[in-house]
Copies of this chain bind each other. A is one copy, B any other.
Amino acid sequence: MDQLQKFKDYLSLKGLKNTSQRLVILETFLSSESHYSTEDLYLKLRIEHPKIGYATVHRTLKLFAECGIAAERNFGDGQTRFEPVHGEEHHDHLVCTRCGLIIEFEEPQIEKLQESVAATHQFTIENHRLELYGLCSICTAADL
């Protein structure tokens, strides 16, 4: 099932309405792989849809997160970011502290070790976050 259908299903499930703003926001949100803050997406949308308000953008992003179309991220810069969720795949991030580049990665061995740490403490993991901060290859090179 595609994201649009998933969204529409969620709306009707919850008795919410299918508005033009929500569809435009969804389309723009999905059309990129970025990790958007509300501000980022609001500014991008404003170019073609200057009537859409900031509050609507923010409310809609929260709605996406609620229905599983978006994941909320926080990379420590004081802004919540949202990224499109496609399949069930999980990933973590490398974040360049110089230029802001975000690289995604998956490392099943790390996930496994996390489970074993949790088991040691009889802890039930619901979710986790792993972020590696530093310099990307370009910024590392520029530093020499």
A residues at B contact (CB < 8 Å): 74, 76, 94, 96-97, 103, 105, 107, 109-110, 113-114, 117-118, 120-137, 140
Contact = CB atoms under 8 A, between A and B. Distances in A.
Instruction: Count the copies.
Output: 2
Contacts of A135: 123-124, 126
21 contacts: A74-B74, A76-B129, A94-B118, A94-B123, A105-B117, A107-B117, A109-B113, A110-B110, A114-B132, A118-B132, A118-B134, A123-B135, A123-B136, A123-B137, A125-B134, A127-B134, A128-B130, A128-B132, A129-B129, A129-B131, A130-B130
Q: Which 3 A-B pairs have the closest CB atoms?
A: A122-B137, A126-B134, A125-B134
B137 A117 contact: no
A39 to B, nearest CB: 18
Nearest to A115: B132
Contact of A121 (B114, B126, B136): B136
Contacts of A74: 74, 76
Nearest to A125: B134
